[in-house]
Amino acid sequence: MKKIGILTSGGDCGGLNAAIRSIFFRAKNKYGMTVFGIKNGTTGLVQRPLDFIELNQKTFSGYLLKQGGTFLGTTNKGSLKAKDKIVDQEKLLIDGYHQLGLDGLIIIGGDGSMNILQKIAKKGNLKIVAIPKTIDNDVGATDFSIGFDTAVNVATQALDNLHSTAVSHSRSMILEVMGRDAGHIALSSGIAGGADVILIPEIKYSIKGIINKLNEMKKRDVKHSLIVVAEAVKMENGKKVIHEFKDGQKRLGGIGEYIANQIMSKTDIECRVTALGHVQRGAPPTANDRILASAFGVYAVDLLEKGKFDKMVAYKNRKIIDVTINEAIKTYKNVERNDPLVETALSLGIYIGDIK
């Protein structure tokens, strides 16, 4: 392995710069490799001229480690799924990899990126290793992905800020968090931030159940409350709240408003809604995310050096391990009923849906 590339793909999150930094130092200092940072996800290999930078010590002399986002840029538009009418983008990517003379490529991405790139790698003989990143923490075969801890911390901080204003005004403050189809961010931040109600896509709730909880609090003279709701939670009619934007894309968002309106139309409880959105993605990474990203970076370079391709690094039972990319993407990691955090929420008296 003489020359390797790194690319960040999919939605950004805290810890990506820390991972790139760690990959560079391991590759350069231990193995004397040349390291190229590919710009804007796969786009840097698809476009001509190729868009990349050679990384060096100076690249990391500032405080990149502590910054959110990815200094290489990324894209989550899935551009490789839609075939360009004139040129085959997959072919351009494969040619780009070989033109650059890469011996290996580290992909920092979520399940979607891994899925697409694994297929292309097979077709074009690309040697790839993946590092899981996503605030949603929904990649299989790893307990944690880079970016989750940062998002949970942002959401917890938001709940802390909402708590005081909830008490001042005797209101119910509703926090809508991201997470795609998984409730990990909502569940963890809700427990850490002292929520009274946590709604996640995996557990069925009822408006009646939420109102019962708030009324029971009222009886104890507690007139304020905190509700966390994950973006993919469905309305009682079984539909998700989805906005169609001017660019033709459909995105999740608005379930917080729905819950607020339901509560306000059936009780005299005053509700306010905060949709946290991309604040969860852009925040400076927590210490845990910086550490995880750094450890993943080292392990990923070692995998390339050992010739162990088509693998994803993972964190399991306090150890960094590797699994096949297939193993990682075969199951979407939802919150399971037997997740200890579900039991924790229940025993804290949090309404988490119509389960016991």
Residues with catalytic roles: 136
Residue nearest to ligand F6P (CB): 178
Q: Cα 319 to chain center, whole Å? A: 20
Q: Are strands 104-109 and 172-177 parallel, antiparallel or unpaired?
A: unpaired
Residue 100: strand, helix, or coil: coil
**Closest distance of CB 133 from ligand F6P, Å:** 10
Compute the least distance from the CB of residue 134 to ligand F6P, in Å. 5
Minimum distance, C-beta of residue 295 to ligand F6P, in the bound complex (Å): 22
Q: Which is nearer to ligand F6P, 180 or 213 (CB)?
A: 180
- Nearest to ligand F6P of 39, 281 (CB atom): 281
> 251-288: buried (b, 16+ CB within 10 Å) or exposed (e) per residue?
ebbbbbebbbebbeeebebebebbbbeebbbebbbbeb
Q: Which residues are within 8 A (CB) of 258 and not within 5 positions of it... i.e. 6 or more apart?
A: 235, 241
Say if residues 100 and 290 touch (Cβ distance below 8 Å): no
User: What gap in Å lies between CA 314 and CA 116, rounded to an integer?
Assistant: 19
Q: What is the rounded distance in angstroms from the CA atom of residue 107 to the CA atom of residue 300?
A: 10
Picking from 315, 344, 294, the residue whose alpha carbon sits closest to that of residue 145 is 315
DSSP strand pairing (319-324 vs 311-316)? antiparallel
Q: Residue 207 or residue 279: which is nearer to ligand F6P going by CB? A: 279
Structure tokens at 265: 């139309």
Residue 271 to residue 153: CA distance in whole angstroms: 23
Q: Which is nearer to ligand F6P, 35 or 328 (CB)?
A: 328
Smallest separation (angstroms) from ligand F6P to the CB of 275: 11
Secondary structure in 3-state letters for 250-278: EEECCHHHHHHHHHHHHCCCCEEEEECCC
Omega of the bond prior to 49 within 30 degrees of 0, cis?
Answer: yes
What is the distance between the alpha carbons of residues 322 and 328, in angstroms, rounded to a whole number?
10
Closest distance to ligand F6P from the beta carbon of 63 (Å): 24
How far apart are CB 277 and ligand F6P at their closest, in Å? 8
For helices 148-169 and 184-192, what crossing angle results, to 10°? 50
Rounded to whole angstroms, the Cα distance separating 330 from 115 reads 9
Tell me how far, at minimum, the Cβ of 314 lies from ligand F6P, in Å: 18
| Pairing of the two strands 172-177 and 225-230 | parallel
Minimum CB distance to ligand F6P smaller for 148 or for 296: 148
State the residues that interact with ligand F6P by CB under 6 A: 11, 76, 134-136, 178-180, 231, 251-252, 281
Closer residue to ligand F6P, CB minimum distance, 75 or 172:
75
Identify which of residues 179 and 193 has a Cβ nearer to ligand F6P in the complex: 179
